Structure 1
Amino acid sequence: MYNISYKYKSAIIFFIKLFIVGAAFYYISFKIAENNVLFKSTFIHYFNENIIVNSYFIVLIFLCTLLNWSLEIIKWKTLISSFKSISFFEAGKQSLS
């Protein structure tokens, strides 16, 4: 096998990943254009029909994010409790910074 230096190997891997992301972006945009979702009037009509469902979904995701952050803070507070007793707010600053 060829002896490729680390510098060139990382550049080759980067360009392979970039190609894969570009190909995926092209494929997704082609499929969207093929289904006529790309047109502004169709998109606005679809969004207006589903705005209530989208709003509930966004609120649900926000609540799940807050729950996840709270669990991470509690986990950090429990982990550090053997060394030092800290408040929930202090654990939040340390965990989420």
Structure 2
Amino acid sequence: SSDKVYYERFVKRVKLLLNPCHFSDEIPFDSSFKKENLVLFIGRLDYNKNPAMFLKAIAHLDKNLQEKYKFVIAGDGQLRQELEYKVKSLGIKVDFLGRVENV
């Protein structure tokens, strides 16, 4: 695909920079949380972050595999409506949470 060709040019120069995480022993855990297999996209919904690629990846999965996971987008931005339309046109299930603090 064109995405693959484009990004292959940069693979040797890619560096992974992790966001710092601060965990506290005081974070409550609600044992009633339902355990789910989640696949998340967390970020601003604009062209630089390329959330459309996340949707394309989901659409390429076998339907049985799609049903085993819950796909979620946490974030907001100029592409939200376009992405919601794309979800419908691809026939996939994705939950949009909007902007979420401290994800």
What is the TM-score when the length of structure 2 is the normalising length?
0.22
Bigger proportion of residues as strand: 2
Higher CA-based Rg: 1
Structure 1 length-normalised TM: 0.22
